[in-house]
Amino acid sequence: MPAVPLYRLAHARSGDKGNRLNIAVVCRDERLYEPLREHLTEDFVAAVFRERRPSAVRRYELPKLRAFNFVLDDVLDGGVNGSLGLDGHGKTLSFLLLSASIALPAGLLGANEPPQPQPMPGEPR
């Protein structure tokens, strides 16, 4: 199965409450919901965030919204009022998840595949 960045299959938004992060992952196409339900698992997300040592990762399924809600406990270094990092909210972390590559059956990336964004100026090509 070819591996593609999740970024090409879904869009996402981070939110925080204290030291808990949620990431809403929304399929770009309704046909991607079932394959992602199978492959975008709690274990997959926990592995992407392994350096932050989540104490729990839960996935909630929202088929009517073609979306999943991931909730990661204790990954924000204490949260916005306690973290030593620049982004204590974890607002940037939806893109950490989206940058992970995921293996899906061939043929799912068809005409609806979003365009690849151009590299930013100065970015290694």
Contacting positions for other proteins (CB under 8 A): 7, 11-13, 15-20, 22, 24, 26, 51-53, 60, 62, 64-67, 69, 71, 77-87, 91-93, 96, 114-115, 117-118, 122, 124
- The residue among 39 and 89 lying less far from other proteins, judged by its C-beta, is 89
| SS3 call for 65 | helix
| Distance of closest approach, residue 67 Cβ to other proteins, in angstroms | 6
- The residue among 26 and 41 lying less far from other proteins, judged by its C-beta, is 26
- The residue among 1 and 27 lying less far from other proteins, judged by its C-beta, is 27
- The residue among 1 and 101 lying less far from other proteins, judged by its C-beta, is 101
Q: How far apart are CA 123 and CA 106, in angstroms?
A: 29
| Distance of closest approach, residue 75 Cβ to other proteins, in angstroms | 9
By C-alpha distance, which of 101, 100, 110, 97 is closest to 3?
Answer: 101
Q: How far apart are CA 36 and CA 38, in angstroms?
A: 5
- Count of H-run helices and E-run strands, the chain: 3, 6
Q: Distance from first CA to last CA of the chain, Å, rounded?
A: 25
| Distance of closest approach, residue 31 Cβ to other proteins, in angstroms | 15
Q: How far apart are CA 122 and CA 108, in angstroms?
A: 32
| Distance of closest approach, residue 45 Cβ to other proteins, in angstroms | 15
